[in-house]
């Protein structure tokens, strides 16, 4: 399942109708959350039934399509189920006491989602989409790529309207698994992400860190000061303030898109060039608590890079393995001994005589640990009866090997082993 996105071209009246639909979806979500808080033993189906009660009580909620109201209630239930899941987890598994993620009310929702009804796509041209509910959105022109021409209407599961700083967009959720056959390269690589380099691999290659936020920080501060001057204390927000606010938001959006595209391009190149890819299983939420490095870590975009590597690994049928990062920068990849070093020491010098850049040595260690993990898993699979088995990098059950059943991965490794 993947997403196709188009930009919308419409009239101002239609844009205001989209905003009204988004506010209604936010209202339904918050009402569903309040209904769960005020009543006991409420499940997902009770929230869907409550949408009909809201439609009878509020005329503006009735004007929104039924499936859109149900999708908003499902958003509330998604936050509730995540809260239940965090409550069951122990504190030593990433959830601290008192921080279970209790559901919160939305204040500035930016999207509304429709299911299989409430919209109609032009069957012949597929350049326009018409929303048929009573919000008055009407017929919208789609601007963008023509990928949706290759899919039938039965493959479209959901349609989402999104408001961003530079305009309005529509997303189509296509229920098809995208796979592509590529020639095996017989190569394996380990990746160590960092701040000096974006990543360093086990072959000694490094990619520079883009630092898009650092490059645009001066301009961001200038636009933020301009926005602050337009809003005086005790006065109503003027049109000039909203213009300055939009300029500031557009620059933030541009920087985030630059970071996303940079990570996407690098991830695609890495996956296409290798059959095995080993990387660190970092908990970025914990790393950004360091107030000295939080801005640089957020600017690096490690999560986007990992997300796209897992996606392309599944698309191209490659193996991606997340390895626990413990002592990967301290262990020597040649002799295996522990070589302690401070964070300021950027060179790995071991007593065995091995000398290499800190990030490159860590990527070698990551690759070695990933290979040992797969070998251990292969032995375990041979001893057990054939079944669907997924393991993480430490060999325990729970998947960090993305995109393939591990048994099939081990069989493919036996057929096309990487070069040593």
pLDDT digits (tens, 9 = 90+) for 381-397: 454 544 333 333 333 33
Q: From CA 265, how far away is CA 34, in angstroms rounded?
A: 43
Q: What average pLDDT is seen over the chain?
A: 84
Is pLDDT above 70 for 235?
yes
User: What does the alpha-carbon distance between residue 336 and residue 338 come to, in Å, rounded to a whole number?
Assistant: 7
User: Does residue 93 contact residue 87 with C-beta atoms inside 8 Å?
Assistant: no
Please, which pLDDT band fits residue 225 given cuts at 50, 70 and 90? very high
In DSSP terms, 142 is beta-bridged to 8
Pairs from 13-16 (Cβ < 8 Å, separation ≥ 24): 13/136, 14/136, 14/137, 14/138, 14/140, 15/168
Residue carrying the six token digits 């997340």:
322
| Per-residue buried b or exposed e for 62-80, using 16+ beta carbons within 10 Å of the residue's own CB | bbbbbbbbbbbbbbbbebb
- pLDDT bin (cut points 50, 70, 90) of residue 414 is very low
* Distance, CA of 343 to CA of 328 (rounded, Å): 13
pLDDT at 33 over 50: yes
Looking at residue 401, its pLDDT comes to: 37
CA distance 336 to 206: 23
Q: What are the pLDDT digits (tens) for 41-63?
A: 999 999 999 999 999 999 999 99
Question: pLDDT (tens digit, 9 = 90+) per residue, 318-338?
Answer: 989 998 888 888 888 878 788
Note the pLDDT of residue 307: 93
Residues 130 and 260: their CA atoms lie apart, in Å, by 31
CB 277 within 8 Å of CB 270: yes
- DSSP notation for 108-164: S--EEEE-SSSEEE-TTT--EEEE-STT--EEEEEES--GGGGS-GGGEEEEEEEEE
What pLDDT is attached to residue 91?
62
* DSSP three-state, residue 262: helix
């Amino acid at each position: 399942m993947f997403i196709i996105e188009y930009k919308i071209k419409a009239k101002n009246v239609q844009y205001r109708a989209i905003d009204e639909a988004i506010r209604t979806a936010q209202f339904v979500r918050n009402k569903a959350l309040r209904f769960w808080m005020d009543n006991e033993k409420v499940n997902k189906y009770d929230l869907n039934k409550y949408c009909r009660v809201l439609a009878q009580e509020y005329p503006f909620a009735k004007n929104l399509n039924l499936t859109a109201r149900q999708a908003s209630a499902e958003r509330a239930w998604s936050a509730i189920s995540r809260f239940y899941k965090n409550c069951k987890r122990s504190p030593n598994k990433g959830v601290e006491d008192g921080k279970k993620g209790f559901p919160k009310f939305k204040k500035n929702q930016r999207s509304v989602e429709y299911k299989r009804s409430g919209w109609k796509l032009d069957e012949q041209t597929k350049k326009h989409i018409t929303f048929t509910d009573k919000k008055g959105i009407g017929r919208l022109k789609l601007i963008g790529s023509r990928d949706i021409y290759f899919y039938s209407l039965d493959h479209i599961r959901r349609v989402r309207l999104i408001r961003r700083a530079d305009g309005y967009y529509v997303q189509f959720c296509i229920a098809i698994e995208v796979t592509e056959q590529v020639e095996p390269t017989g190569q394996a690589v380990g990746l160590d992400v960092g701040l000096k380099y974006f990543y360093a691999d086990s072959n000694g290659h490094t990619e520079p860190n883009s630092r898009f936020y650092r490059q645009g920080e001066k301009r961001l501060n200038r636009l933020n000061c301009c926005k602050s001057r337009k809003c005086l204390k005790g006065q109503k927000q003027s049109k000039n303030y909203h213009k300055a606010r939009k300029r500031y938001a557009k620059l933030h959006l541009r920087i985030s898109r630059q970071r996303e595209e940079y990570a996407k391009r690098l991830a695609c190149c890495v996956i296409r060039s290798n059959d095995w890819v080993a990387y660190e299983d970092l908990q970025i939420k914990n790393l950004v608590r360091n107030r000295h490095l939080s801005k640089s870590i957020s600017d690096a975009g490690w999560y986007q890079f990992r997300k796209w590597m897992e996606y392309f690994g599944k698309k191209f049928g490659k193996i991606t393995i997340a390895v626990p990062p413990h002592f990967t920068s301290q262990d020597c990849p040649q002799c295996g001994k522990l070589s302690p070093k401070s964070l300021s020491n950027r060179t790995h010098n071991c007593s065995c005589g091995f000398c290499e850049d800190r990030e490159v040595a860590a990527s070698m260690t990551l690759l070695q640990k990933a290979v040992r993990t797969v070998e251990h898993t292969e032995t375990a699979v041979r001893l057990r009866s054939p079944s669907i088995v997924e393991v993480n990098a430490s060999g325990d059950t729970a998947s960090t090997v993305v995109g393939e059943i591990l048994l099939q991965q081990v069989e493919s490794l036996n057929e096309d082993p990487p070069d040593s």
